[in-house]
Amino acid sequence: MFLSRIELDTKRRSTMKALTSPNILHGAIEQSYSGPRERRLWRLDQLQHHLYLLLLSPNKPDLTNIVNQFGFPDRNPRWETRSYGLLLDSVKDATRWRFRLVANPIKCCKPSQDDKNRGQIHAHITSAHQSEWLLQRCQNYGFSLNPDQFLVVGSQWYRFHKGNQRKSPVTILAVTYEGILTITNAVRFQQTLQEGLGRGKAFGMGMLTIIRDKGAENE
């Protein structure tokens, strides 16, 4: 696995358009790889006054097209790519890590419990329900959370057309979480890092990143 990072130029009109329509970035990312389609995770990160595109993939990408459309073509290097193997190898049970996650917390609503239909999908719109959504699922992804050690730090609605413009627009909510987690199942957690969690992965959601929690007593 490889983790790539590219700074985006927010003064460009093409970049601003892509920031409101994540399907544009999804298309550009798909064009950065040759061979069969594979699951790739990506996310936008705002660090101080800089905006970055993070991309996790099984193979090294050629991000020339993305740089030319949304980045800084005159910079050297124009992007960074590093092996993800060392981080995956350092994942151990009972270790604590600081994390950042952009996800799409949703609920399925049915008219009644006896209704056999799938029901309508709705986003959780309050921070309390968004936090509860992650707390209820974290063990299935190989980690645990203390409610007092993570926060919802942001949310953003996206509304855009996918493919045929005559179809109904896609509406999706991106929620950003930050805090401290504890790994409970290292093998499952490695899968989570590589495969993401939740819905909306094609549109920049589901990617979980971690760094060492230097203050943890067990590290």
Q: What is the pLDDT of residue 107?
A: 80
Which of these, 5, 17, 11, 99, lies nearest to 52 by C-alpha position? 5
Q: What is the pLDDT of residue 219?
A: 45
Please determine, for residue 204, whether its predicted confidence score (pLDDT) is greater than 80.
yes
Residues 6+ apart with CB under 8 A from 85: 1
Domains and CATH numbers, the chain: 2-83 (3.30.70.1200), 88-212 (3.30.70.1210)
Lookup: tokens for 78: 């124009």
pTM summary value: 0.88
Mean pLDDT over 150-167 rounds to 82
- Residue-wise DSSP of the chain: -EEEEEEE-TTSHHHHHHHH-HHHHHHHHHTT--SS----EEEEEEETTEEEEEEEESS---THHHHHHHS-TTSSSS-EEEESHHHHHT--TT-EEEEEEEE--EEEE-SSTT--S--EEEE--SHHHHHHHHHHHGGGGTEEEEEEEEEEEEEEEEEE--SSTTSPPEEEEEEEEEEEEEES-HHHHHHHHHH--SS-GGGT---EEEEE-TT-TT-
pLDDT in tens, 51-77: 999 999 998 889 999 999 999 999 999
